[in-house]
Amino acid sequence: MPVTPPSTPDRSAYLLAARGEPVPHTPVWFQRQAGRALPEYRAVREGITMLESCRRPDLVVEITLQPVRRYGVDAAIFFSDIVTPLQFAGYDIEIKPGVGPVSADPIRDAEGVARVRPVTAADVPFTTEAIQQLVSELGGTPLIGFAGAPFTLASYLVEGGPSKDFAKTKAMMHGQPDLWHALADRLAEVAIAFLSVQVEAGASAIQLFDSWAGGLSPRDYERFVQPHSAKVFEAMKQYGVPRVHFGVNTGELLGLMSEAGADVVGVDWRVPLDEAVRRITAAGGAPKPVQGNLDPALLFAGWDAIEPEIDRILAEGKAAPGHIFNLGHGVPPNADPEVLERVAKYVQAKSAHVPA
Ligand code: CP3
């Protein structure tokens, strides 16, 4: 069934769902929807580093729009990375293809913490320009701004690269708590600064990625991480845009991540959405819209396996006051764009309310 695009983001299915209001259909977009799964992305990125592409408004606009054109998703996400605001502020961290962010000089002391500085709008005129252009080209499709949450960003800075156990980060938290809190506070300022630039330029919603928070116990999360993410959400409240919070493997943390101040809680594939709503409300909080949660691995399982999974997720999502359909994590680089397009169209058609 064709989906008529709204004329302003404000009435879009994505923002209606994020506010818990009635929707024309369940909105759908894909975390990491821009990227290597798309041949048109690989073509425009050819010979250009990630950092350089993030500094070029023409490329940012094109790469952000590619998945919207291709999949017909209900939201765009600004093309950047969680570490780019640090790079723009002169911090020496590199994005290694196939690896992720790596730093040759990891943070282990106060001198290292002092090297972290938030970007200002003056540092990133290209970000403001790209977002303004995107908002005008996107019309009624909302643009999501995003940043890395203090813990996930810190994990790259302290470990020096991707990590499975976050041993050095946890050692800093417990062994040098003052240093840890100083670092996390600076990273909260980085996130606030970058998110503010994006919203002031016209982004309609923000998502704070704490992708690796699931590596923490609830006790550690509450003590070492939640106050810093809460600071970000609190600072962004003044803009009145929906604030989404997402992490992987966060089944034990959903209540605490919700309490940090999110308006919408992102859920990976491990916890069914109705159970996620139960966990979010377990400590007495109000139910909130949720986002998720098709296992990205299912994209490779064939349509006969995918369709019933989507049906199940749509049914479970009804337990929440709003549901934004998404993958439980990012689009894998080897995903088939045709499958993603079919998922988006199916979600929109299956959930559409046919006017009487
Ligand atoms: O489409 C979108 O979602 C917008 C763009 C986006 C990127 N990174 C572009 C990117 C977003 C939202 C991110 C967030 C991000 N970056 C997260 C949180 C989301 C998640 O997946 O959990 C994290 C943990 C990072 C850190 C990071 N940067 C990783 C793990 C990688 C992948 C490394 C690799 O090459 O496999 C990157 C690099 C990166 N960021 C790429 C893209 C498109 C790939 C690099 C490239 O295409 O050259």
Q: What is the pLDDT of residues 261-304, one digit of tens each?
A: 999 999 999 999 999 999 999 978 889 999 999 999 999 999 99
Distance CA 250, CA 118 (A): 27
193, β-bridge pairs: none
List strand residue ranges (DSSP E) for the chain, in order.
76-77, 94-96, 100-102, 143-148, 205-209, 243-246, 264-266, 290-294, 323-327
Pair 325, 28: CB distance under 8 Å: yes
pLDDT at residue 4, as a whole number:
61
pLDDT exceeds cutoff 70 at 150: yes
Pair 57, 129: CB distance under 8 Å: yes
Q: For residue range 12-31, what is the model confidence (pLDDT) as tens digits?
A: 999 999 999 999 999 999 99
pLDDT at residue 5, as a whole number:
61
pLDDT at residue 284, as a whole number:
83
pLDDT at residue 2, as a whole number:
52
C-alpha to C-alpha distances, 118 to 94, 123, 185, 212, nearest whole angstrom: 17, 10, 11, 21
Pocket test for ligand 1, best of 52, 61, 73, 82 (most atoms within 8 A of CB): 82
Which ligand 1 atom sits nearest the alpha carbon of residue 64? Answer: 1
Q: For residue range 220-262, what is the model confidence (pLDDT) as tens digits?
A: 999 999 999 999 999 999 999 999 999 999 999 999 999 999 9
Q: For residue range 124-139, what is the model confidence (pLDDT) as tens digits?
A: 999 999 999 999 999 9
Tokens for 320, please give them: 């929440």
**Residue ranges per structural domain of the chain:** 9-89+126-144+193-350
For ligand 1, the distance from its centroid to the CA atom of residue 106, given in whole angstroms, is: 20
Pair 325, 289: CB distance under 8 Å: no
Pocket test for ligand 1, best of 33, 95, 155 (most atoms within 8 A of CB): 95
| 348 phi-psi bin (left φ>0, alpha ψ -120 to 50, beta other) | alpha
Pair 89, 114: CB distance under 8 Å: no
For ligand 1, the distance from its centroid to the CA atom of residue 223, given in whole angstroms, is: 27
pLDDT exceeds cutoff 70 at 209: yes
Tell me what percent of the residues of the chain surpass a pLDDT of 90: 95
For ligand 1, the distance from its centroid to the CA atom of residue 78, given in whole angstroms, is: 12
**Full-model pTM:** 0.96
Architecture of the 9-89+126-144+193-350 domain = Alpha-Beta Barrel (3.20)
264, β-bridge pairs: 244
Distance CA 341, CA 33 (A): 11
pLDDT exceeds cutoff 60 at 356: no
Residue reference for tokens 């058609």: 349
Distance CA 38, CA 67 (A): 8
Q: For residue range 66-98, what is the model confidence (pLDDT) as tens digits?
A: 999 999 999 999 999 999 999 998 899 999 999
pLDDT at residue 3, as a whole number:
55
